[in-house]
Amino acid sequence: MDGIVMFLMFLCAGIGMAENPEHLKHLKYDCLEREPNGVCTMEYDPICFVKKVDYNNDCLACEGKKRIRFLDGPCGCDDLDSLPTPTKRKCLKHETEGACPKILKPVCALERKTASNKCAACVGQSKIRYTVGEC
């Protein structure tokens, strides 16, 4: 595994893909705010979707989704570990009702809201998607 990672690092360095901290900034896009007619332009303004898939623009990435998280620009070698994969979790009945321990282990729900822990993120939800840590 380490050999593969090293190979990818050298490959990226060799083709000139330098790290750009601004490029790695997570962006959130509310798909419900796009054009009301639902028609996407063919404008080429590439983004790297959270699933590490390139789309020509944010409108095309929104098809069938309410919100998306992405990196500005196409996916590249410097993006291999930059996007955390959200964890899916079914919420237990007591969690949806708000019976949660007061343990501070922050999670970032897909809606970009920080909750004190996984249980707190489940209040009023049947399923959640989250990443560990604050948003």
The CATH number linked to 72 is 3.30.60.30
Give the residue from 36, 57, 79 where a domain finishes: 79
State the pLDDT at residue 70: 74
What is the pTM (predicted TM-score) of this model?
0.40
Instruction: Give yes or no: residues 71 and 93 share one domain.
Output: no
Q: Is 67 contained in some domain?
A: yes
Per-residue pLDDT of the chain (135 residues; tens, 9 = 90+): 333 333 333 334 333 333 444 444 566 667 766 655 667 777 777 777 766 677 777 777 777 777 777 777 766 655 445 556 777 888 888 777 888 888 898 888 877 788 898 888 888 888 888 888 887
Q: Domain of residue 125: give its range.
A: 87-132
- Are the C-beta atoms of residues 73 and 48 closer than 8 Å to each other? yes
What is the count of structural domains for the chain? 2
On whether residue 14 sits in a domain, the answer given is: no
Nearest CA among 113, 111, 103, 119 for reference residue 134? 113
